[in-house]
Amino acid sequence: MTLIVERNRSLKPFNTFAIEAGAAYFAEARDDQEVIEALHEAQRLGTPLQVLGGGSNLVLTSDVDALVLRMTSRGIRVLEDDGKRAVIEAEAGEPWHPFVLHSLELGLSGLENLSLIPGTVGAAPIQNVGAYGVEIKDVFAGLTALDRESGRLVEFDLQDCEFGYRDSVFKRQAGRYIILRVRFELRRTAELKLEYGPLRQWLEQHGIQSPEAIDVSRAVCAIRSEKLPNPKVLGNAGSFFKNPLVAQSLADSLREHYPDLVAFPQETGELKLAAGWLIERAGWKGYRKGDAGVHHLQALVLVNYGQASGQQILELAEGIRADVADRFGVQLEIEPNVI
């Protein structure tokens, strides 16, 4: 066995909230074989197996009585390329943003709007990660996963993944599948998504009249850096709440009292409200209790100022959810995974 298993390992370096919590057992998997070895080792130890990616979408509320397996596999390869479109595959442990930059260096577009998102390639499909008008499902070409129930490798296409807003079959059947590698279909000729207002404004302000994919990536990085705290400096998990979907009738009712309500029509007839607007309007922006707080520039982001526990972060989140529900009649849903 090549897998190295440690006991009583701190997980603080492996979650972007920088929450102190320990793992009863800890290992890193560099390839498929070590993932399989980890499954067998967890069975031998009589303990659950908890898979960890980049730790960027995670709230640890206590020590983890399990074998925590961190995916560290590396590798990026172009599988197909007809001069117009290319299929590129990356191992689950590849850090997401460097992978996006690598695809741009290869002259491929499609991922530029997803620049500077923390985490790993393998975690991206679980949440159907999205930003600035693009989601994983828009560029998805397939993935390979290990089915823990059968012990076999399984191939997933777009339909199999059942992608939704920040949702997928992997999230709904949490723990069943371990994603090993993901494939994306990208373009040689860019079809840029510039509907997001601040994105267009940034390009205009910098005199970029005919942007290329790399320009969009730079714009996204600049906008995210201005609005979102760097988790290496201030612990956070990015957007903590999903933007809620509500009926047209509720949105119309809210607009009577709040003409500046931020809402986006959906194909279903519902409207997607900006959770950050709701939280800020409720007065939570910049709020702090102990070391748990709401970021002063972006109300959608909860932060750890130093020693906040996962439980304290969750208590703050529940206070926000209750207040928003009371004021607006809207139920907010937590986006990160809670362990």
Positions marked active-site: 166, 239, 335
CB 35 within 8 A of CB 29: yes
Phi-psi region of 98 (alpha: psi -120 to 50; beta: other; left: phi over 0): alpha
Nearest residue to 123 (alpha-carbon basis) of 80, 73, 185: 73
CB 86 within 8 A of CB 77: no
Nearest residue to 23 (alpha-carbon basis) of 1, 44, 45: 45
Nearest residue to 22 (alpha-carbon basis) of 31, 13, 34: 13
Residues in the chain: 339
Q: How far apart are CA 304 and CA 23, in angstroms?
A: 20
Q: For residue 184, what is the enclosing H or E element?
A: strand 177-187
Amino acid at 223: I
Tell me the helices (H) and strands (E) count for the chain, helix number first. 10, 20
CB 311 within 8 A of CB 305: no
First to last CA, the chain: 28
The 10 Å CB-count burial string (b at 16+, else e) for 34-68 is: bbbbbbebbeeeebebbbbbbbbbbbbeeebebbb
DSSP state of 109: B
Beta strand 49-52 pairing with 22-29:
unpaired
Q: How many C-beta neighbours within 10 Å does residue 278 have?
A: 27
Q: What are residue 249's DSSP bridge partners? A: none
